[in-house]
Amino acid sequence: MRRQMLRQHSGAHGSYLRGSRYSELSCFFHSDMAVGAFARLSSTAELSLHCSPVAILLLFLKWLITVFDFIDHKEQIHALYGFFFSFLQDEKMCPYVCHLLYLLTRKENGESIQWCEMEYYFGMQSHLQALLSLYKLFCPELVTITLPGKMKTYFKNSEGPWKAAINAIRRRSQGNSPLSQPLFLGTAQPQSRKRKWNTQLFIPASSTNRNNLEQDSGKNHVDLYSANKSFPVEQLQTFPQLLENIHHLEFPSQMGSVLTNPLLLHYMNCIKDESVYLRLNYWMGQTLQEECTWCVADNQYEDEFKDFLETVYKTECFLQEGFSSCEEFLYKSLPLWDGFCCRSQILRLVSWIPLGNFSEMKSHLYDPLAQLFFTSSLYFKCSVLESLKELLQNWLNWHVIHLDSASDSQVCSLNTTLSGLVNVVAELIQFVGWISTVALRLENNPTFLLYFILDFYETVCDMYLRYSLPLLIMPPAGVFYPALLSMDSVSLNQLCYIMYRYRTNLVAAKENEQSKKKILQFKFSSQTYQEYNQYIIAMVGCLWTSTAFQKDIHPQGLRMDEELLKKTAMQELKTSFNIVYHPAMMGYAVLFLQQVMGWANIWGKKWNWYLEYLYTQGLKGLKLFIESSINRVSQASRSKAGNTQA
């Protein structure tokens, strides 16, 4: 009857084993090994010996070997020892049975085994050797054949995929850490987790270039610098050493090592050798391309890549110029970047991009950055604005330096013409103006963002005087008016300072134009002056004369019709919006009045005291603006500001 039952079960048993291996594994490892379940399986296996095909038994054996370590109570398996032993005769199952018996054998098994017939059957295969050696260990008197001394791996580790699955499930159930590797069941990829030999992420140590095989043994030449004896790079430790040996020094065999060696970087600055830069750029380009964590699938070395980017950035700051390979890398990888991985490092590297022509920059830098910019958090926006400001400053500094050494034509292969430079810078500023406008609307004019935008324009407003670049670009209305009408005094103060600097620059440009009496290459167009005047009218109207709503002539400005203003039902419309009542300044006005106690409002000479009070509160920009742009001829005629006319 048992046999009949088993015939019925064997089919189900087979399919159970075959079809549900993975679910079995998963259910077993949520808790400890369920002995009962195993017992059920083993009993059916035992009795279905004649019914099941060999494949099923093989599968069962393989599974047993894989999960052997997890079984807590092995008595039942030991009870089946003889049963498994009988399978040794089957050629296909022999390796697996040997492996299983190897795991199971204990001392008491040795006595009851009819092992002596084994060697006649199959000869000395490695799995049999393993089993026999174990028997020899336990019962040396029963094993008389000699076994080879060297221990090799006897059993094939054939169930790697299963083991991988088991480990993954255990990890998942033990810790709640997310699986970092996908559960793919197959052989490992050829270039998988361990480090490849050609990985360059570790910056090589400086070692002398021993490649000088130019043997001039035949010639006798007197070498003044004794160049045969070059100073070994490994010994270079201090700056005085560098100075002493500067003529005998050679670059190390692997250029990558200069990144961490400031002395060699100094040396690199002195040597104007193209091959040096070529070597470094090739190495760096390949490393960046290869190790980029978001461009190469399953690259898990994000921290090392971050450190590498830091090192590159520090080197660029040291040399005060960007690497062309780094620029290429940014152009290639920014379109694929998620804005999150290595964020601060990438944005800092962006600030060292050398001047390039506009169309390249637009498609490779501005477009991907804009995409990320509009869809990211406030902090990302501010970081991008900061890095663009530094980019602008680096370009301007480069321009100033090369202005002095104008004859150095071989150094810069990029735009050497002034008009080219002006165009590129202008495009950058317009780009920033555009994204700032949109960002302010998206984020609803937060002070934090406005600070970074106005910081950028602080650099822009001074380009003529500080950096000798004949370019003056006013901020767009989308930046100016939110700053003018902002609710906090920091932005207002910054804006005042910026307008003051614009004025200074414009005045200086005008004077230069008029004094030189010759045609200058660049002169600011009348449109620039006009724009400035419009802004200044609005500003003075807001701060001083309370006439912003009537007199603002900017097309995107504050001007409102009389009827609309009447509808607001504000009393004293003509005196209600100025430096006292401006939302940003109200706080100061209140504090001022509290201090002086007893004054209801601020007019007449109290106005001056109020202004003095504001200046002591740190509003230096405001002070400069008022002093420069507002003519205080008399109380009555609060004249409009600015004596620069188009």
Partner 1 sequence: MAAAGSPRSAPRGLTGRAFKPRPAANGAGAGAVMEPRAPSGTGRPSWGLLLARGHGPLGFSSSSQLLPPENADPQRTAFLLRKQWTLYSVTPLYRFSNAHLRNYSRLLSAFIAAERQKGWAVEVGVELDIKVAVSSLPDLKGSDQDHAAVLVEVRSLPSPQKTSQEKRIWSGWFCCVCGDDFFENMPEDFTCLPLFLANGAESYTAIVGSWFQKTFDCCFHRLAISPLNLSWMAAMWTGCKVDKTASAMELIFSVPGLLQPLDISYAIHPEDAKALWDTVQKTPGEITQEEVDIFMDCLYSHFHRHFKIRLSAAKLVKVSTAIASAHCDGIIKFLQSQYLIGVLRLLTELAISQIQ
User: Residue 266 Cβ, how far from partner 1 at the closest point, in Å?
Assistant: 20
Tell me: does residue 390 bind partner 1 (CB under 8 A).
Answer: no
Give the CA dihedral 440, 395, 354, 364, nearest 10 degrees: 20
Q: Candidates 81-89, 97-105, 324-332, 506-514 — which segment interacts with partner 1 by CB under 8 A? A: 324-332
What is the spatial distance between Cα 618 and Cα 450, in angstroms, rounded to a whole number?
19
What is the spatial distance between Cα 403 and Cα 405, in angstroms, rounded to a whole number?
6
What is the number of residues in the chain? 646
Tell me: does residue 187 bind partner 1 (CB under 8 A).
Answer: yes
Tell me the backbone φ, ψ of residue 428, rounded to 5 degrees. -65, -45
What is the spatial distance between Cα 453 and Cα 592, in angstroms, rounded to a whole number?
30
Considering the complex, state which of residue 368 and residue 478 has its C-beta at the smaller distance from partner 1.
368
Of 287, 436, 494, 629, the residue at the interface with partner 1 (CB under 8 A) is 287
Decide: residue 488, CB within 10 A, 0-12 exposed, 13-18 middle, 19+ buried: middle
Considering the complex, state which of residue 186 and residue 604 has its C-beta at the smaller distance from partner 1.
186
Tell me: does residue 37 bind partner 1 (CB under 8 A).
Answer: no
User: Residue 100 Cβ, how far from partner 1 at the closest point, in Å?
Assistant: 26
Of 37, 79, 185, 227, the residue at the interface with partner 1 (CB under 8 A) is 185
User: Residue 309 Cβ, how far from partner 1 at the closest point, in Å?
Assistant: 18
Binding residues for partner 1, total number by CB under 8 A:
40
Q: How many whole angstroms from its chain centre is CA 532?
A: 40
Of 8, 20, 167, 189, the residue at the interface with partner 1 (CB under 8 A) is 189
Considering the complex, state which of residue 414 and residue 593 has its C-beta at the smaller distance from partner 1.
414
Tell me: does residue 260 bind partner 1 (CB under 8 A).
Answer: no
Tell me: does residue 502 bind partner 1 (CB under 8 A).
Answer: no
Tell me: does residue 184 bind partner 1 (CB under 8 A).
Answer: yes
User: Residue 58 Cβ, how far from partner 1 at the closest point, in Å?
Assistant: 18
User: Residue 156 Cβ, how far from partner 1 at the closest point, in Å?
Assistant: 17
Helix axes 620-629, 605-616, angle to 10 degrees: 140
DSSP 492-540: HHHHHHHHHHHHHHHHHHHHHHHHH-S--S----HHHHHHHHHHHHHHH
User: Residue 99 Cβ, how far from partner 1 at the closest point, in Å?
Assistant: 22
Considering the complex, state which of residue 195 and residue 567 has its C-beta at the smaller distance from partner 1.
195
Asked if 193 and 300 touch (Cβ cutoff 8 Å), the reply is yes
User: Residue 365 Cβ, how far from partner 1 at the closest point, in Å?
Assistant: 14
**Interface residues for partner 1 in 230-259 (CB under 8 A)?**
253-255
User: Residue 528 Cβ, how far from partner 1 at the closest point, in Å?
Assistant: 38
Cβ within 8 Å of residue 340, ≥6 positions away = none
Q: Candidates 33-41, 294-302, 523-531, 573-581 — which segment interacts with partner 1 by CB under 8 A? A: 294-302
Cβ within 8 Å of residue 283, ≥6 positions away = 200, 254, 255, 256
**Interface residues for partner 1 in 261-280 (CB under 8 A)?**
274-275, 278-279
In angstroms, the Cα distances linking 489 to 338, 494, 524, 543 are 36, 8, 31, 12
Considering the complex, state which of residue 328 and residue 443 has its C-beta at the smaller distance from partner 1.
328
What is the spatial distance between Cα 224 and Cα 239, in angstroms, rounded to a whole number?
24
Considering the complex, state which of residue 252 and residue 475 has its C-beta at the smaller distance from partner 1.
252
Amino acid, res. 186: G
Of 29, 84, 283, 305, the residue at the interface with partner 1 (CB under 8 A) is 283
Of 76, 133, 286, 617, the residue at the interface with partner 1 (CB under 8 A) is 286
User: Residue 503 Cβ, how far from partner 1 at the closest point, in Å?
Assistant: 45
Tell me which residue of 310, 337, 312, 305 sits closest to 326, measured CA to CA: 312
User: Residue 338 Cβ, how far from partner 1 at the closest point, in Å?
Assistant: 15
Tell me: does residue 20 bind partner 1 (CB under 8 A).
Answer: no
Tell me: does residue 121 bind partner 1 (CB under 8 A).
Answer: no
Tell me: does residue 151 bind partner 1 (CB under 8 A).
Answer: no
Of 35, 295, 412, 442, the residue at the interface with partner 1 (CB under 8 A) is 295
Count CB neighbours of 552 within 10 A: 21
Give the CA dihedral 5, 7, 8, 14, nearest 10 degrees: 120
User: Residue 638 Cβ, how far from partner 1 at the closest point, in Å?
Assistant: 60
User: Residue 259 Cβ, how far from partner 1 at the closest point, in Å?
Assistant: 14
Tell me: does residue 464 bind partner 1 (CB under 8 A).
Answer: no
User: Residue 375 Cβ, how far from partner 1 at the closest point, in Å?
Assistant: 22
Considering the complex, state which of residue 299 and residue 445 has its C-beta at the smaller distance from partner 1.
299
Q: What is the DSSP letter of 378?
A: H
Considering the complex, state which of residue 2 and residue 194 has its C-beta at the smaller distance from partner 1.
194
Tell me: does residue 282 bind partner 1 (CB under 8 A).
Answer: yes
In angstroms, the Cα distances linking 177 to 17, 27, 70, 223, 300 are 30, 20, 22, 66, 16
Q: Token pair of 82, please?
A: 């003889």
Q: How far apart are the first and last CA of the chain?
A: 113
Amino acid, res. 474: M
Tell me: does residue 289 bind partner 1 (CB under 8 A).
Answer: yes
Asked if 67 and 159 touch (Cβ cutoff 8 Å), the reply is no
Tell me: does residue 297 bind partner 1 (CB under 8 A).
Answer: yes
Tell me which residue of 302, 290, 286 sits closest to 343, measured CA to CA: 302
Of 36, 149, 186, 555, the residue at the interface with partner 1 (CB under 8 A) is 186
Count CB neighbours of 585 within 10 A: 21
DSSP 230-256: PBPGGG--SHHHHHHTTTTB---SSGG
Asked if 355 and 392 touch (Cβ cutoff 8 Å), the reply is no
Amino acid, res. 322: G
What is the spatial distance between Cα 328 and Cα 316, in angstroms, rounded to a whole number?
15
What is the spatial distance between Cα 130 and Cα 98, in angstroms, rounded to a whole number?
8
Q: Candidates 120-128, 181-189, 302-310, 505-513 — which segment interacts with partner 1 by CB under 8 A? A: 181-189
User: Residue 159 Cβ, how far from partner 1 at the closest point, in Å?
Assistant: 14
Considering the complex, state which of residue 290 and residue 513 has its C-beta at the smaller distance from partner 1.
290
**Interface residues for partner 1 in 561-600 (CB under 8 A)?**
none
User: Residue 410 Cβ, how far from partner 1 at the closest point, in Å?
Assistant: 14
597: left (phi over 0), alpha (psi -120 to 50) or beta: left
**Interface residues for partner 1 in 190-229 (CB under 8 A)?**
190-191, 197-198, 200, 204, 207, 209-213
User: Residue 233 Cβ, how far from partner 1 at the closest point, in Å?
Assistant: 13
**Interface residues for partner 1 in 326-385 (CB under 8 A)?**
328, 331-332, 335
Sites of contact with partner 1 (CB under 8 A): 22, 184-187, 189-191, 197-198, 200, 204, 207, 209-213, 253-255, 274-275, 278-279, 282-283, 285-287, 289-290, 295-298, 328, 331-332, 335
